[in-house]
Structure 1
Amino acid sequence: MRAPWPKLAACLTAGTIVLTAGACSSSGDGRSGGKVTITVTDMPPNTQQALRKQFTDQVAAFERANPDIDVKPSEAVWDARTFTARLAGGQLETTFIVPLTEPQGLINRGQIADITGQVDALPNAHQFDKRALAPGTDAKGHIYGLPTSEFALSLVYNRELFKKAGLDPDKPPTTWEEVRRDAKAISDKTGLPGYAQPTTNNTGGWTLTAMSYTYGGRMEKDQGGKQVAAFNDAPVRQALDWLKALRWQDDSMGTQQLRDAGEIQKAFSAGRVGMMMATPSTYVDHVTKYNGDPKIYGVAALPSGGRPATLLGGKMAVVNPKASAAQRAAAVKWIDFYYLKAKHDPVEAGARAKVQAVDGIPVGTPNVPLYQSAVDDPVEKAVNAHATVPLDNFKPFLDGVKQQQFVVEPSVAAQDVYAALDSAVEAVLTGKSADPQAELDKAEKKVVLVLERAQR
Structure 2
Amino acid sequence: MSTYVDGVSMRGQRSNLLACGVVAALVLPAAACAGQTTSDDDGKVKITVAGLFPTTQEKNRQAFLNEVKAFEKANPTVDITPTESKWEAKTFAARLAGGQLETVFLVPLTEPQGLIKRRQIAEITEEMKRLPHVADFDQRALAPATGQDGKVYGLPTSMFALGLIYNRDLFTKAGLDPDSPPKTWEEVRTAAKAISDRTGLPGFAQPTTNNTGGWTLSAITYTYGGRIEKEQDGSFVPAFTEGPTQRALEWLAAMRWQDKSMGTQHLRNAGDLQQDFAAGKIGMMVATPSTYGDHVTKFNGDPKLFGVAALPSAGTLATLTGGSMAVVNPKASAAQREAAVKWIDHYYLRPRYDTTVAAQRAQADASDKVPVGMPRVPFYSAAVSGPIQEVERKNANVPLDNFKPYEQGVAAQQFMTEPPVAAQDLYAALDTALQAVLTRAGADIAAELRKAEEKVQPALERAQQ
Superposition TM-score, scaled by structure 2 size? 0.92
Could you say what secondary structure the match of 1:97 adopts?
Answer: strand
Q: Which amino acid aligns with 2:270?
A: A
Q: Is 1:277 aligned to 2:286, yes or no? A: yes
1:9 paired residue number: none
Does 1:303 pair with 2:312? yes
Superposed displacement of residue 107, structure 1: 0.3
Match of 1:82 among 75, 91, 100: 91
Partner of 2:152: 143
Give the CA deviation at 1:51. Answer: 2.3
Question: Does the aligned pair in 2 maintain the 1:30–1:324 contact within 8 Å?
Answer: no
Partner of 1:397: 406
Query: Aligned equivalents of 1:445 and 1:343: distance in 2?
Result: 44
Between the aligned partners of 1:273 and 1:53, the Cα distance in structure 2 is 39
1:31 CA displacement: 5.9
Instruction: Tell whether 2:331 aligns with 1:326.
Output: no
Select the structure of larger CA radius of gyration. 1
Matched, 1:216 2:236: no
What is the letter of the counterpart of residue 19 of structure 1? Answer: A
Q: Deviation at 1:16?
A: 6.5
Residue 123 of structure 1 pairs with residue 132 of structure 2: yes
Partner of 1:100: 109
For the 8 Å contact 2:196–2:261, the answer to whether it is kept is yes
Indicate the residue corresponding to 1:5 in structure 2: none
Aligned pair count reads 439
CA distance in 2, matches of 1:30, 1:82: 27
Look up the equivalent residue of 1:17 and give its one-letter code: L
* Deviation digits for residues 258-281 of structure 1 (CA, Å, limit 9, x no counterpart): 110110011011000000000000
Contact 1:30–1:327 under 8 Å retained in 2: no
- What is the CA-CA distance between 1:30 and the residue it aligns to? 4.3
Deviations 1:341-383 (A, max 9, x none): 1111111111111111111111111111111101000000000
* Correspondence for 2:28 among 17, 21, 24: 17
What code does the residue aligned with 1:428 have? V
Structure 1's 161 and 321: CA in aligned 2 closer, same or farther, altered over 3 A? Answer: same
Give the Cα–Cα distance (whole angstroms) in 1 for the partners of residues 370 and 56 of structure 2: 21
**Residues in 2 aligned to 1:287 and 1:29: alpha-carbon distance in whole angstroms:** 47
- Residue aligned with 2:150, SS: coil
Q: Give the distance between the partners of 2:328 and 2:94, measured in 1 at CA.
A: 16
Tell me if the contact between 2:309 and 2:403 (Cα under 8 Å) persists in the aligned partners. Answer: yes
Deviation for aligned residue 1:32: 4.7
Counterpart contact for 2:37–2:46, Cα < 8 Å:
no
Partner of 1:437: 446
Cα offsets for 1:304-340 (capped at 9, x unmatched): 0100000001001000011111111100110111111
Give 1:42's aligned residue. 51
Secondary structure class of the residue paired with 1:172: coil
CA distance in 1, matches of 2:68, 2:27: 17
Partner secondary structure for residue 148 of structure 1: strand
User: 1 CA distance for matches of 2:63 and 2:307?
Assistant: 32
Asked whether the equivalents of residues 115 and 145 of structure 1 are also in contact (C-alpha less than 8 Å), the reply is yes
Give CA deviations for 1:55-91 in whole Å, capped at 9, x if unaligned.
1111111100111111011111111111111111111
Could you say if the C-alpha distance between residues 453 and 32 of structure 1 is closer, same or farther in structure 2, counting changes exceeding 3 Å? Answer: farther
| In structure 1, C-alpha distance between the alignment counterparts of 2:36 and 2:109, rounded to whole Å | 33
Match of 1:160 in 2: 169
Which ranges of 4 or more aligned residues in structure 1 deviate by more than 3 Å?
A: 26-32
After TM superposition, give the deviation of residue 225 of structure 1 in Å.
Answer: 1.4
**d(CA) in 2 for partners of 1:298, 1:39:** 41
TM-score by length of 1: 0.94
**Partner residue in 2 for 1:202:** 211
How many Å separate the matches in 1 of 2:36 and 2:112? 29
Q: Say whether the 8 Å CA contact 1:29–1:325 is kept in structure 2.
A: no
Assess if the C-alpha contact under 8 Å between 2:207 and 2:267 holds in 1.
yes
On the 8 A contact 1:343/1:349 being kept in 2, the answer is yes
Query: Which residue pairs with 1:10 in the alignment?
Result: none
Q: 2:458 aligns with which of 439, 449, 453?
A: 449
Extract unaligned runs of 5+ from structure 1: 1-14
Question: What does residue 376 of structure 1 align with?
Answer: 385
Aligned to 2:424: 415
Q: 1:113, 1:319 within 8 Å by CA — same for their partners in 2? A: yes
Deviates more, 1:350-359 or 1:26-35: 26-35
Query: C-alpha separation between the residues in 2 aligned to 1:423 and 1:233?
Result: 18
Equivalent residue for 1:252, pick from 250, 261, 269: 261
Matched position secondary structure for 2:241? coil
Conserved? CA contact 1:16–1:75, under 8 Å: no
The match for 1:170 among 160, 166, 179 is 179
- Partners in 1 of 2:52 and 2:126 — Cα distance? 27
The yes-or-no answer on 1:354 pairing with 2:395 is: no
Q: Percent identity?
A: 62
CA distance in 2, matches of 1:64, 1:372: 30
Q: Mean alpha-carbon deviation: is it higher for 41-50 or for 173-182?
A: 41-50
* Paired letter, 1:208: L
Secondary structure at the counterpart of residue 232 of structure 1: helix
- SS for the counterpart of 2:90 is helix
Q: Deviations over 1:89-119 (max 9, x none)?
A: 1111101000111000000000000001111
Once the two structures are superposed, residues 366-406 of structure 1 have per-residue CA deviations (whole angstroms, 9 ceiling, x without a partner) of 11111110100000000000100010100000000000000
- Equivalent residue number for residue 13 of structure 2: none
Of the candidates 272, 277, 281, which is equivalent to residue 263 of structure 1?
272
User: Alignment partner of 1:90: what SS?
Assistant: coil
CA distance in 2, matches of 1:93, 1:27: 11
CA displacement, residues 146-179 of structure 1 (integer Å, 9 cap, x when unaligned):
1100000000000011111111100000000000
TM superposition shift of 1:182: 0.6
